[in-house]
Amino acid sequence: MLICAFAVFAWIAAPRSILSTLGFVGIFLFSIGYVGSAFFRCDFGCRPDNPSFSQMMHEFVGLSGYLFAPLTLLLLGLAAWKWPGGVWLSVLSFVVAASALVGLGGLMDPDSPQVGLYQRVLEASVLSWVVACSHYLGLQKKTAAP
């Protein structure tokens, strides 16, 4: 829920553009998928041969949020390139977008024994960007204060 709030408040505080708006909407949708999947428990092992309804919903809701992550981070990286002092955040965005894509690719492999690792790579990519963007916005507020 805090990431949902971040997406809204960061959209308000960050320089506005179509790319940043789409990016923050993507962060919001990622977090909705993340929260939504928590309401549906994983079956033991998270990849059963005969998944329950809860398992299927967990995967559907979670994956729908995860699918937004790489593109979202790329859009925010392109937007941040034009933000005052945002080049470092932009470069970070491209790095974490690539790692989110690797994580998403690993999640899509049904035979991967490291599916949990790939999931954490994708999540860490988004969350590290959220922390970095929060830092950026905090620095911008400090420098703008009289």
Kindly give the interhelix angle for 18-38 and 53-66, rounded to the nearest 10 degrees: 160
Which residues, 6 or more positions from 27, have their beta carbon under 8 angstroms from its beta carbon?
3, 6, 7, 10, 72, 76, 126, 130
Q: Is the pLDDT of residue 110 over 80?
A: no
Find where tokens 């979202």 sit: 72
Considering the chain, what percentage of its residues have pLDDT values greater than 90?
Answer: 47
Q: Is the pLDDT of residue 37 over 60?
A: yes
Tens digits of residue pLDDT in 44-70: 767 777 878 887 888 787 787 888 899
In eight-state DSSP terms, residue 17 is: -
